[in-house]
Structure 1
């Protein structure tokens, strides 16, 4: 990537990462002007860095002239120590849950102050929508978030409890004391629930799975329409899946190798 820097005080790498960070939430495709507004960078800088990122494969240009995240980033992310092997080991359990429930099935890990979805199997059309893989959910309002938070370090829990707890619906837990009691219940029961707390009309249930130290912990969740399925059954299903995944991650089986990267085309010159 070019080393030119027309904005003193920030490195070229920092600016390029800021451009990639513009693709958050529902912003899957952005125009060059939208990227400039989202990043606050000069249009000339955005133009130059976008072209560098496209040449490298970090961004791709759509047929409409907009930009989206490139598969080169997915290729690199697939080598993450925390998720390499987790998704492969979890998939049989996620698939089994989907076949039984036809609901959304989620796999999440703790990242920063949120639950990061690393895998999702989409439910049938009558199930309320939920974020895609690569999306994030709040710790205090989602079932996967509560499970991960409940089994985090006491210091981390206190940081979350002392921060703002956003109310997404009237059912969202927004007080530290109520959330503290909820986390204690999650640790006692081994399962977390979120009933209309993040999205009206949706209920999720999640259980913990633990892996080797370099992988840490993950949460498996079923998310469906409120009242459509017996909550007790959902709890049993996710707890069984969580225990199964924990056992699979503890096994001695070798990881599947990642295929070597094929040669890339030579970047075009400008």
Structure 2
């Protein structure tokens, strides 16, 4: 068998094993997904050494799992010997009902909203205590925003996140409000006690508005809930626009109207309302 290299000129198969042993009894799938989670937009390719270090695994263990993932197409090798995410994962992800399925139904309406606003239009779902950006349409000259498609965003510090949190089951809200979250320097006073009435107002008004700096521009998001046939909130749609441009609040009627249109379209579809919850 041809030996491989970790991208730093060292032979992978004969490199000494360093680092800690995996946690006793830790399932293989847990280790494999921890390795897959190491890949990010700013690090799309990783050497075996970097992959093992970031996944906190011995190099020999990382090599064995990486080879198995590569055999299944979940990882691929570059000419330099680095690992990247494989297309097989994309193929599988496209059949996720709350991702691609929801996106397929919502996309024509997202396009209408994008044409009307010429700003960032986002479709977000909740996964446990975070939001996941399923789709984003952006104008060519719109200021850049922080979150990428497939990326996770905080529920308490984004407009679509607040909508998803406000309409989440009571236990999910309590789990979130009692959990520790990274401090938000833009909202230092956003305590659980302050957040509760804000969530109640969002449920009453059926939309959320949230402003914060993003990169070098202050941005404001306007979001509204999307429901399924059982009146369960399954997603949020939002428009993100520069705070000083055209008064972002003027987008509220359009965002609410489009959310309702997608909700009506969802009435004939079956989309799982939520993935795993915290137990």
1:12 aligned partner? 28
User: Which stretch of structure 1 is more off in the superposition, 12-21 or 25-34?
Assistant: 25-34
Shift of 1:238: 0.9
What is the aligned counterpart of 2:116 among 100, 107, 127? 100
Distance 1:74 1:214 in 2: 30
Shift of 1:172: 5.6
Distance 1:20 1:27 in 2: 12
Distance 1:118 1:53 in 2: 25
What is the aligned counterpart of 2:243 among 226, 233, 237? 226
1:41 aligned partner? 57
Distance 1:249 1:148 in 2: 17
Distance 2:156 2:98 in 1: 22
Establish whether residue 144 from structure 1 lines up as the match of residue 160 from structure 2: yes
Distance 2:179 2:98 in 1: 26
Distance 1:215 1:52 in 2: 39
- Partner of 2:140: helix, strand, or coil? coil
- Partner of 2:99: helix, strand, or coil? coil
User: Which stretch of structure 1 is more off in the superposition, 81-90 or 219-228?
Assistant: 81-90
1:208 aligned partner? 225
Stretches of structure 1 lacking an aligned partner (at least 5 in a row): 1-5, 256-270
Q: C-alpha deviations, 1:154-190, integer Å up to 9, x for none?
A: 1211121122343333336521121111111111111
1:176-191 maps to which residues of 2 (within 5 A)?
Answer: 176-191=192-207
1:167 aligned partner? 183
Distance 1:197 1:184 in 2: 25
Q: So what's the TM-score if we normalise by structure 1?
A: 0.83
What is the aligned counterpart of 1:88 among 104, 127, 146? 104
Shift of 1:75: 1.4
Aligned residues between the structures: 249
Q: So what's the TM-score if we normalise by structure 2?
A: 0.80
1:121 aligned partner? 137
Two-structure CA RMSD over aligned residues (Å): 2.5
Stretches of structure 2 lacking an aligned partner (at least 5 in a row): 1-20, 272-279
What is the aligned counterpart of 1:245 among 259, 262, 271? 262
1:130 aligned partner? 146
